[in-house]
Chains A and B, each alone.
Chain A
Amino acid sequence: MTHISVQKKLLAADGEMQLNVNITLEQGKLTAIYGPSGAGKTSLLRIIAGLLKADKGSIIVNQKTWLDSSKNIFLKPQERKVGFVFQEYALFPNMTVQENLLFALDKGQNKKNVDDLIAITELENLKNRKPENLSGGQKQRVALARALVRKPDVLMLDEPLSSLDLSMRNKLQDYILKVHKEYNLTTVLISHEVGEIVKMSDTVIILEKGEVVKQGKPFDVFTNKQISGKFQFTGDIINIQKEDIIYVVTILIGISFVKVVAEENEIIDLNIGDTVMVASKAFNPIFQKIK
């Protein structure tokens, strides 16, 4: 269990902002943080990592105090067991994949850890390559493995997938979930993608102007419980096509495409890329057993 209660005055685009967060992260659970740019998401991760000093507060990770401003306790970043993956790859360009991972080892730490991570993230065929010879997705996979070398108490992912294309993003999501489960990690993911959050996280925290405005299971937080349709999904509009007198809207839900018929009035406010809730009644869908 990780308890985080921190306050910090931040400088936002439209003036000063008070970051005031009081959250609990459970071991083995993936918590997503969602919110507009400038809400304090990255600052919160940097405070947890010790890269930014909170004005006040405490961080207790598995009964170990990383920060307690009332007792003047402030562990240095290198004393906190955190793994970090950013949007930029941040690998050492002059080192191979394997060397990048070995470099992250603590003194005296067993090298077998690196071999295990290479196996679980399926990097065997790439381990002697240098970063310049890897694709974006492969580099992020290496960055993920490297973040886990020191067996972190908290794995923090700051929009690690936002520069990847859709299919690569899906694969990386699966790798993240695999290591998250395999190592029973406490993982925090910053993401702008509702679909990604619904797929990956156990809990989502919505941060706005430094405050937690909503938290809960992603499905409950993002879907509208106040509509009676039981067949409800959140997805992104990929295409809107006029066919005859109606419109066919293609929506990406998770990794599946669905098509919804819409009338002109319904699509007036809709644009490609918008996130929408799709609802139908439980009475309409049919099943076919496939396995």
Chain B
Amino acid sequence: MNVLNGKIAAIETNGSLSIIEIQIGSIFFKTILIETPNSVSYLKEENEVKVIFKETEVVIGKGTEHVVSLQNKITGTINDIEKGALLSKLRIKTSVGIITSIITTSSVLKLDLNVNETVTAMIKTNEIMLSQ
């Protein structure tokens, strides 16, 4: 799993759902949780949290500009690619550290992804977990 250290920047709550904005270095990620500041104590602005997401939930876009609904985006360069028969593991060097993505090998071939190339790693809002 990918684990990044961040700080809670903003909390928007409606009923028992909250959208939390987290600052990680110079970028911002958002996540939706079935929690509120009343249900768990660590949901407080300025609090340090761990931002957790699975490698298999990291979407890869070639280049930097994409018209997509995903709000969590970070650009970086491909550090290394481990190609398997069906799946491949990409490690992307970003301003907040290495982010690992597991996508199909056929996508790696179709997008012609290579080491040192600039890519955007994207994660859906509902795929990000927080932990203290």
Task: Give the B-binding residues of A (Cβ under 8 A).
Answer: 224-230, 244-246, 261, 263, 266, 279, 281-284
Contacts and interface: CB of A to CB of B under 8 A. Distances in A.
A245 B129 contact: no
Interface of B: 1, 31-35, 40, 42, 52, 54-56, 82-89, 100, 102, 126-127, 129-132
A227 B50 CA distance: 9
Contact of B1 (A224, A246, A263): A263
Contact of A228 (B33, B82, B83, B88): B33
Contact of A244 (B40, B86, B126, B129): B86
Nearest to B43: A228
Contact of B88 (A226, A227, A245, A284): A245
Contacts of A228: 31, 33, 35, 40, 129-131
Nearest to A230: B34
A233 to B, nearest CB: 15
B130 A263 contact: no
A229 B129 contact: yes
A283 B87 contact: no
B42 A266 contact: no
A229 B131 CA distance: 9
Contacts of A225: 40
Nearest to A262: B1
27 contacts: A226-B42, A226-B131, A226-B132, A227-B52, A228-B40, A228-B131, A229-B129, A230-B34, A244-B85, A244-B87, A245-B82, A245-B87, A245-B88, A245-B102, A246-B84, A246-B87, A261-B54, A263-B1, A263-B55, A263-B102, A266-B1, A281-B126, A281-B129, A283-B32, A283-B126, A283-B127, A284-B126
A266 B56 CA distance: 13
